[in-house]
Structure 1
């Protein structure tokens, strides 16, 4: 769950950071067709027409360069800086629906949205954290928002280059990371179909970018030297949260609700809150009870951040269909028997289409991760022919399975299960 660093730990670590807020804004527009103008002048009745966008007005940006700080899985965790425990400090990162703030594209560490620009009943910061939903399990809001922003960040560049051989550079982690678009004939696609293909590619590749980050964290990538992020790798709620963000923005792109940054931010805010309600978000107090119920099973309150095995249960099932981890009756003892009704909910499985307009999307573009020599030792448990050249997103599930095997050995040596 912890994507990079943990928000409250910036103060604890006495790090002075420049906010990740961005001045990037965008606004594009639909161009009326000649037929629409002719009909209007002739007094015809207005009819709905496919939108014709001016390519010259496409926003000139790509994915944000930084990710939002977020949360390690658990509640009120202890923290260590090196070998030294931080006294009198516990990490409280659980939020409820009323706590969630308005979305801001590429907000970074902190951004304040005034009430006048918010479609919620309040302004303020995004106020990211973790929450629990009956059908979607735990959700990490920072992961949802980051992949949402990556989706729109990729969309217009993909649309402008659809059918061409093109490379989109992404922030490096274990090594160079980029999207490799292949040339193909688009002459059979109309403008609406090109829009749809680009939208599905953007959502899919933004999600696989999130998968690559899970891999990078497991293999030793850190945003700041001396602060390990292995605690965050394959955290059980991460990828479901990422895919939720991709799906929200895929829907908004298809509905043409992303033509300006203001419109985008407002619609992500509305659809995020509505999606959480549809998934059955519980209040903050009950979410904290669920975390307490899985203490010692999914995470350990006895361990301290950033110890990797503070998190005991991880999610290694990568791919374009994601199933959430839900509370089950077997996890509840007498102390939490009152949560039995919550533990009988059914999961909402979400997925991203592998095809759009009859095109197999993985044949059109792939996300590629290269491994720098300094990280090679962390891949020693994986046959070199799998990773030594480069890894693309179709191979990520295989990498994750090797990680699962290694983590199982480590947990067994510690005398802890990973069920």
Structure 2
């Protein structure tokens, strides 16, 4: 009789819950806000919102949490497949906008699995921005009015990094529960970004300063605000994040991006997989004809650069030559 231990695979992490997000949203997050994390978003102690940090500019905590959870989700899938060539993986985006098919095209070394998972999480977040940009005329709350908001890509990038940090802490045995690891690493990451003194007053001051540029036109309700500036990454490259720093924010004497976090993605990670996204173009019926025309039925991750080039031309025509700059 075989008495070897029975190995029961861990339950698949659930897809991230919907979290209210974006620069146009409340509430304000501060250095004193609770950092507790729940992958389902159902923990009443979990708090998200917008915070202004001296080294990272505006950060969307909801986006960070979402992409962190997506990193965990993909990491679990890749580990179950042992990173083997020709294995497939899939997921359903938690906003029900994206369904997709992915395939591992060459064996992923064990020490690369987590970073490939983080890359997949980030790519999904970028595709979400591309798709929702075309939910336009009429604009949809959470669609065109907030796609590629100035803090989106930076927050998504940091969320992937948060996922790496949390899972590494788990694998080292520093924490037993994923939620505890994220809570601890979120606190540390925000400290790296210069959240000391990041009160509600500071973030509101920064929001007031960018209205004078303006980055957006405020409105009540906030879901009807009009975003005038879009951050597509450094020089329009979504693979190099570009934090927008607001001059004149009290308590911020300078800006230094954390040395431990690269602004640039390692593009060799993309050589391990292919992935094609399938937008749900009936999510918002009135906008679907525009989205369908601009996106078609499928969006391979290799097409992102071309899609963003098209978005930038559209944004320049619609919002003027300063559409991708924080400057007046």
Taking the aligned partners of 1:94 and 1:388, their CA distance within structure 2 comes to 37
Does the aligned pair in 2 maintain the 1:134–1:280 contact within 8 Å? yes
**Largest Rg, 1 or 2:** 1
Gaps of 5+ in 1: 1-53, 74-90, 113-124, 187-192, 333-338
Instruction: Report the count of equivalent residues.
Output: 305
| Corresponding residue number in structure 2 for 1:300 | 217
Q: TM-score, normalised by structure 1?
A: 0.64
Counterpart of 2:51 in 1: which secondary structure? strand
Change (3 A) 1:406 1:258: farther
Residues 102-146 of structure 1, C-alpha deviations (whole Å, 9 max, x = no match): 011221xx423xxxxxxxxxxxx2111100111111111100001
Taking the aligned partners of 1:406 and 1:302, their CA distance within structure 2 comes to 23
Residue of structure 2 aligned with 1:182, choices 104, 110, 126: 104
Does the aligned pair in 2 maintain the 1:327–1:342 contact within 8 Å? no
Residue of structure 2 aligned with 1:98, choices 32, 53, 62: 32
Q: Which has the higher contact order (CA 8 A, sep 6+)?
A: 2
Matched, 1:201 2:116: yes
Q: How far did residue 178 of structure 1 move?
A: 2.0
Does the aligned pair in 1 maintain the 2:134–2:291 contact within 8 Å? yes
Taking the aligned partners of 2:319 and 2:38, their CA distance within structure 1 comes to 39
Does the aligned pair in 2 maintain the 1:137–1:325 contact within 8 Å? yes
| Corresponding residue number in structure 1 for 2:291 | 378
| Corresponding residue number in structure 2 for 1:315 | 231
Taking the aligned partners of 1:258 and 1:242, their CA distance within structure 2 comes to 24
Taking the aligned partners of 2:6 and 2:256, their CA distance within structure 1 comes to 44
CA RMSD of aligned residues (A): 3.4
Residues 380-415 of structure 1, C-alpha deviations (whole Å, 9 max, x = no match): 4x5xxxx54632223223212211221222224xx9
Matched, 1:263 2:177: yes
| Corresponding residue number in structure 1 for 2:285 | none
Residues 281-331 of structure 1, C-alpha deviations (whole Å, 9 max, x = no match): 12221111111111132122357533362x221112253331211113xxx
Change (3 A) 1:312 1:350: farther
- Map residues 265-414 of structure 1 onto 2, 5 A cutoff: 265-281=179-195, 282-296=198-212, 297-301=214-218, 304-307=221-224, 309=226, 311-317=227-233, 318-328=237-247, 339=249, 342=252, 344-348=254-258, 350-351=262-263, 353-354=265-266, 360-371=268-279, 375-378=288-291, 380=293, 387-388=295-296, 390-412=298-320
Q: TM-score, normalised by structure 2?
A: 0.79
Does the aligned pair in 2 maintain the 1:227–1:306 contact within 8 Å? yes
